[in-house]
Structure 1
């Protein structure tokens, strides 16, 4: 896997995705290899390494990202009754680009 799958593959257009929601600075789409029946990823279009490396000038993007996550999570909860919202940091973060997962259902694998 590339160091930054989201910049290298998704945002570059190399990997096509099924978009759930898009704003000027944020993209939410169905995961290309889902681990849950509903598995949506939300990312900033600007490269931000992770939540803990976020710089002061990037807080507006974080607010826009959280707004998209909130809307998508509300839609998933309405349709499926519940959802999880999570992000990974450090060694748990496979792709070094800030991203959040919106999930519903029992883990597939």
Structure 2
């Protein structure tokens, strides 16, 4: 855990979040600045700076939880998008790995 990391503080319950799902390894919660009707973040509880730092088991847990979030939120059949922003040019602003689960509307291509 990183003391100065926003998402580590969410994991530690020092910052409130609207939690959707939680396991021993990951936490899923609603984004405070949603970009779609459904916008949930899935994060590992262990601090990893970027997706390239994540071990395969944790990566699988993040993806499996993202799909469970889509089912829970009722967007698994209509469709959803998973986004990992990585490093500055990739648009990452919080340096704790997180997967955006976006849905509830038609997604356009290419993304911004």
TM-score by length of 1: 0.79
Instruction: Give runs of aligned pairs for residues 1-109 of structure 1, distance below 5 A.
Output: 4-7=5-8, 9-54=9-54, 58-75=55-72, 76-78=74-76, 81-91=78-88, 92-104=91-103, 105=105
How far residue 106 of structure 1 moved from its aligned partner, in angstroms, is 6.5
- After alignment, is 96-105 or 66-75 more displaced? 66-75
Once residues 51 and 78 of structure 1 are traced to their aligned partners in structure 2, the CA distance between those partners, rounded to angstroms, is 23
SS in 2 for 1:21: strand
SS in 2 for 1:77: coil
When you count helix as a share of all residues, which structure comes out higher?
A: 1
> Which of 1 and 2 has higher RCO (CA within 8 Å, sep 6+)?
1
Q: Which structure 2 segments of 5+ residues have no match?
A: 108-112
Q: Which structure 1 segments of 5+ residues have no match?
A: none
Once residues 29 and 106 of structure 2 are traced to their aligned partners in structure 1, the CA distance between those partners, rounded to angstroms, is 19
What do you get for the CA RMSD once the two structures are aligned? 2.3
Paired residues of 2:62 and 2:99 also in contact (CA < 8 A): no
TM-score by length of 2: 0.77
Change over 3 Å in CA distance of 1:59–1:78 after alignment to 2: closer
